[in-house]
Amino acid sequence: GAVVSQHPSRVICKSGTSVKIECRSLDFQATTMFWYRQFPKQSLMLMATSNEGSKATYEQGVEKDKFLINHASLTLSTLTVTSAHPEDSSFYICSARSWGGGNEQFFGPGTRLTVL
Amino acid sequence: AQKITQTQPGMFVQEKEAVTLDCTYDTSDPSYGLFWYKQPSSGEMIFLIYQGSYDQQNATEGRYSLNFQKARKSANLVISASQLGDSAMYFCAMREGNNAGNMLTFGGGTRLMVKP
């Protein structure tokens, strides 16, 4: 099946710094990618929908100035957590659906962010 | 109202036995898709099975089958012949509409533990 990669898989940063997470579709083009956040023992919550070449659509309650999303190409979307705080510590997962493909949505392996 | 409801936070099953994980959904869109994902402790989301709202037959994928009862709005996952490696979190998800850009909404998840 199609492959989605995320980098880094784990990151630890100091409070106040910014962290960039990359999501790549390795063998297909994805005009739309999704960013989810998952707190421990909870479900995935959609943060934003990333559209290639246009602004991301953020879910209610998600600060667009804090979670910057850039979908610069058909295979890459980035999520930047700006001025990270300990409460931003979470598991961030991206997903993508192959354009013109089937129904499956492919998930990246996730990035575990810890803010000290 | 919750769009996807998984009422079993945790389930035990004896190895080699079958287990049913419950999922009910709520939508007014006649076109939708239902997904089941497995999330082991590593965090990756593994696609298991998909059922479209217009599919006449219940989906099956190896040991996984989906008991789709449209009138009841339920999409239970049946795992036959449970294996120790099946121990994980299982998430039911729904996509409303059939646009490739439509997001997935996840249920709260069920933790399955397979006993040897």
Contact A105 B109 (CB under 8 A): no
Residue B5 contacts A, CB cutoff 8 Å: no
Contact A43 B108 (CB under 8 A): yes
Residues of A in contact with B35 (CB under 8 A): 103-105
pLDDT, average across residues A53-72: 91
pLDDT of residue A88: 96
pLDDT, average across residues A44-50: 92
With CA atoms as reference, the chain A residue closest to B40 would be A109
pLDDT of residue A99: 63
**pLDDT, tens digit (0-9, with 9 covering 90-100), for A64-108:** 999 999 988 889 999 999 999 999 999 999 998 766 656 678 899
d(CA B32, CA B21): 20
Residues of B in contact with A109 (CB under 8 A): 42-44
pLDDT of residue A100: 60
pLDDT, average across residues A17-26: 95
C-beta of residue B77 within 8 angstroms of C-beta of residue B66: yes
pLDDT of residue B14: 97
* Partner residue opposite A43 with nearest CB, options B44, B100, B109: B109
Work out the percent of chain A whose per-residue pLDDT is above 90.
70
Average pLDDT score, chain A = 90
Q: Chain A interface residues facing chain B, Cβ-Cβ under 8 Å?
A: 1, 31-32, 34, 38, 42-46, 49, 51, 91, 93, 95, 97, 99-101, 103-107, 109-110, 112
C-beta of residue A24 within 8 angstroms of C-beta of residue A76: yes
d(CA A93, CA A113): 11
User: Can you give A30-74 as a three-state secondary structure string?
Assistant: CCEEEEEEECCCCCEEEEEEEECCCCCEECCCCCCCCEEEEEEEC
pLDDT tens per residue, chain B (116 residues)? 679 999 999 999 999 999 999 999 999 999 999 999 999 998 999 999 999 999 999 999 999 999 999 999 999 999 999 999 999 999 999 999 866 567 889 999 999 999 99
With CA atoms as reference, the chain A residue closest to B95 would be A103
Q: How does residue A50 score in pLDDT terms, banded at 50, 70 and 90?
A: confident
Contact B103 A112 (CB under 8 A): no
Amino acid at the residue A9:
S
Work out the percent of chain A whose per-residue pLDDT is above 70.
93
Selection from B113, B81, B88 nearest residue B17 by Cα = B81
* Partner residue opposite A109 with nearest CB, options B44, B47, B106: B44
pLDDT of residue B2: 75
Strands A10-13, A111-115: pairing kind: parallel
